[in-house]
Amino acid sequence: MAQTTLISRAQIDQRVAEMGKQITADLQGTEAIALCVLKGAVFFCTDLMRQIGMDMALDFIQVSSYGNEKYSSGVVTILKEPMLEMRGKAVLIVEDIIDSGLSMREVHRYIEGRGAEVVKTATFLDKPAARKVDFKADYVGFSIDPQFVIGYGLDFAEKYRNLPDVQVLTD
Ligand code: PRP
């Protein structure tokens, strides 16, 4: 398998800093929670939070989407629920990538159901061409073509998450 760099560490740092500034401007004055969607978003979330110039709580959610080729039912199950009270808060859902849109749609619905006053979504990567359901994130790091990417939290069979940049995996 071959790997080529798609997004460099310098590009990541610059874009994450820009996103942090924008989010700070938008959420200033709210009681905010960053909700990191495990596991891939951990890397992006910690970098992003350090670029946000206001106090922000941190919580985690984990979802699993079951959609193999034969049963692409699009069912998303919540594996780990957040611990913090969401009622009346501004919740920023932080994802590493949006593909079909199913995970983000489900997490968004779930957090609205928990009574959050404001729900915003930030994704490091967006693959708009892979959507099965319509979903637009409020903050997008990079929009990419539908190719298999690894690194900066993104895995292939649990490998490569700790690569510092984003690479494309090809045969
Ligand atoms: C990936 C990614 C998103 C989701 C995006 O998670 O982190 O949560 O898939 O895909 P979707 O838009 O088609 O729903 P994955 O299930 O691979 O878990 P991981 O983050 O633990 O690797």
Does the CB atom of residue 47 touch ligand 1 within 6 A?
Answer: no
The DSSP letter of residue 154 is B
165 carries an active-site annotation: no
Residues 126, 42, 33: CA angle, nearest 5 degrees: 90
Residue in 96, 154, 162 to alter for ligand 1 test, most ligand atoms within 8 A of Cβ: 96
16: enclosing H helix or E strand? helix 9-27
pLDDT at 66: 63
pLDDT at 130: 93
CA–CA dist 27, 40 (Å, integer): 24
**Cα 5 to ligand 1 centroid, rounded to whole Å:** 21
**Cα 29 to ligand 1 centroid, rounded to whole Å:** 31
Q: Which of 169, 166, 168, 170 is nearest to 10 (CA)?
A: 166
Q: Please give the CATH number for the structural domain made up of 7-25+32-144.
A: 3.40.50.2020
Q: Which of 99, 126, 165, 171 is catalytic?
A: 99
Within 10 A of 36 (CB to CB), how many other CB atoms are there?
26
**Cα 27 to ligand 1 centroid, rounded to whole Å:** 25
Domain limits of the chain? 7-25+32-144
Q: What order of strands is seen across the sheet that includes strand 75-80?
A: 75-80, 57-66, 32-38, 90-98, 118-126, 139-143
pLDDT at 3: 85
CA–CA dist 94, 50 (Å, integer): 13
Run means of pLDDT, 10 residues per run, the chain, 171 residues:
93 98 98 98 98 98 70 78 98 97 96 97 97 96 96 96 96 78
pLDDT at 71: 46
Does the CB atom of residue 103 touch ligand 1 within 6 A?
Answer: yes
